[in-house]
Amino acid sequence: MTSIGKIIKERIIPHRKSNIRLNPEFVVLDDAHIQGFLLGTDHQRMYGIDIYNSKNRHITIGTNKEKKISLDIYQISAQDPLEELLNEFREQQPAFAIGEDPLGKIRGHDIELYLDVERPYPLMRRRSPYPGSLEIRKEIEKHINELLEMDVIRKIGHNEIVEITTPFLITWHDGKSRLCGDFRSLNNYTKADRYLIPRIPHALDKLAKAKYITRMDFMKGFHQNGVKPKPIKFLRIICHMGIYEYTRMPFGIKNAPAHFQRMMDTIFQEGILEGWMVVYIDDIR
């Protein structure tokens, strides 16, 4: 390779303590074989570089019209990145819940509960609802109505035989309430699913060198899993409004996190193995 000249241009890189001044040196090669290069408009203006988009595509430097270099000009989108992202969301709209859209259900991953046969779960275990203040009762009513609309639970009829009922708790996080069944008794009799849950430090190690990070969170992720018919009788909750049973996987049962992690690892196996995706239960990065 033969150098036909050098270009030196001062660069100022902003820094929170003090700006950094650099003078990078660009070497112009006469006979270099390169795949391509990225040329900014600032360099074009400063050094008098003109690009002609014609059949004989070439560039000229300064006033020298003799030096010609063939090149390909690729289409570069001038669309706003946010608008591009929104357009992508519109194309993939069925995958996103907007407004009053119904909650989706993931096929082929209904949860099953395996109980310890050496310590049979008591068949007759009807528990009463926990007492609550007027505020708690209002929150219960709000959550029950929401779950009914999403088909996550159904109300038990008066003529149905009910052997097991579980009260539930209202927990608070960041000022928002959350309904969680008190399934501690059921969990004591449930065989543990030992599927490995990723460790947070390992996930952070994978993200350490990422330039761009996208975060996606499932809308009520656990409730997008169905429940096998057999364990539904164990997932009946009771409150001042009556008795309801979960037809989707609830919060609070022992193996819900492991079951959901296995499902996510199965569905997104390709991206995880390629190293550009990190999945932690219902969070995707």
pLDDT of residue 135: 86
The answer on 38 and 125 residing in a single domain is no
Residue at 167 is within a domain:
yes
- Least Cα distance to 250 among 153, 140, 173 occurs for 153
Domain boundary among 43, 70, 97: 70
> For 119-142, how does the pLDDT look when each residue is reduced to its tens digit (9 = 90+)?
666 655 778 888 888 888 888 889
pTM: 0.61
- The answer to whether residues 144 and 237 touch, using CB atoms and an 8 Å cutoff, is no
For the chain, give the mean pLDDT.
Answer: 75
C-alpha Rg value of the chain to the nearest Å: 31
Backbone angles phi, psi at 192, to 5 degrees: -75, 140
Q: What DSSP line would sit under 187-202, residue for residue?
A: HHTBPP--PPPPPHHH
pLDDT of residue 248: 92
Provide the token pair at 148: 């009914």
Which portions of the chain are predicted below pLDDT 70? 1-3, 9, 11-24, 30-79, 81, 94-101, 117-124, 285
The answer on 266 and 170 residing in a single domain is yes
- The answer to whether residues 60 and 70 touch, using CB atoms and an 8 Å cutoff, is no
Q: How many domains does the chain have?
A: 2
pLDDT of residue 277: 81
pLDDT of residue 57: 47
Range of the domain at 111: 107-284
Residue at 76 is within a domain:
no
**Rounded Cα gap, residues 270 and 195, in angstroms:** 19
**Rounded Cα gap, residues 172 and 119, in angstroms:** 34
The answer on 55 and 123 residing in a single domain is no
- The answer to whether residues 26 and 7 touch, using CB atoms and an 8 Å cutoff, is yes
pLDDT of residue 213: 77
User: Dihedral of CA 224/230/236/242: which sign?
Assistant: positive
The answer on 253 and 185 residing in a single domain is yes
